Amino acid sequence: MKNVKLTLEYDGTNYCGWQRQSNVITVQEEVEKRIGEIVGDKVDVIGCSRTDSGVHAKAYTCNFKTNSVIPPEKFYLVLNSVLPDDIVALNSKEVPIDFHSRFNSKGKMYSYTILNRSERPAINRNYVYQYGHNLDCDLMREAAKYILGTHDFTSFKSTGSKVKSNIRTIYEAKIIEDENKVIFYITGDGFLYNMVRIIVGTLLEVGEKKIIPLEVKTIVEAKDRTKAGRVVPAKGLCLEKVMY
């Protein structure tokens, strides 16, 4: 028995997230089905994260166990011959039998892309959130400092999620301006349900000067979802990388 780790890139537009569910199409279901066709047996693919409906990934990691004779380092090539166009395997390799894509993860980096103009996009419309208001990126950078470190992020978690603890650590929060785009890069040891999207929604309020940067510190300390900003749309969010 071998444990094979895959790195995937996918466009989440047409999927109801990663995790398999009844009566909807998910990335996990699609990948498991295609691997099953190759190895001739049912497989359970373990993902590094439960990305939501419409969220994308540039380097999503997952693993599965198999007795297949296909060399692990070549498996991704075979898999790509049967995957749909919006999912591609970037590489594959054998890992220790006890490796777990989720539990062995040390952290993740997400990006969120804002198209900061008044006109809606025709190109890349599924990968950016069009936002027409003027944004002060320096104020948002100042505010982002208050989410760094280890905190109880209850204020930044949507309801409907059951976790043992709302404490997470944010290692880095960067905001990059690229012509008419504003890109948020947030790296942490883990994230609560909709946490990145709520953080971005809150920072946008700072960027519009609806709240001052210091108020983000107050929002974190409040541990109250109603104090933070809205959940921005899923399509602007992308899992950039997973650290091990």
Domains with residue ranges and CATH for the chain: 2-95 (3.30.70.580), 107-243 (3.30.70.660)
User: Is it the case that residue 181 has pLDDT exceeding 80?
Assistant: yes
Residues making up the annotated binding site are 110
* Residue 11: predicted pLDDT: 98
Residues making up the annotated binding site for substrate are 110
Write the pLDDT tens digit of every residue in 54-63: 999 999 999 9
Q: Crossing angle for the helix pair 195-207 and 137-144, nearest 10 degrees?
A: 130
* Residue 162: predicted pLDDT: 81
User: Is it the case that residue 159 has pLDDT exceeding 90?
Assistant: no
Is residue 152 annotated as a catalytic residue, yes or no? Answer: no
Write the pLDDT tens digit of every residue in 103-153: 999 999 999 999 999 999 999 999 999 999 999 999 999 999 999 999 999
State the pLDDT confidence band at 161, using cuts at 50, 70 and 90.
confident
- Average pLDDT of the segment spanning 207-217: 98
Tokens of 221: 């300390």
Using CB atoms within 10 Å of the CB of residue 70, give its burial: 0 to 12 exposed, 13 to 18 middle, 19+ buried: middle
What is d(CA 38, CA 45) in angstroms, rounded to the nearest whole number?
Answer: 14
User: By the 8 A CB rule, do 113 and 130 touch?
Assistant: no
- pLDDT top residue among 184 and 160: 184
Give the contacts of 112 (CB within 8 A, at least 6 positions apart).
129, 183, 184, 186, 196, 197, 200, 232, 236, 237, 238
Of 52, 86, 98, 152, catalytic: 52
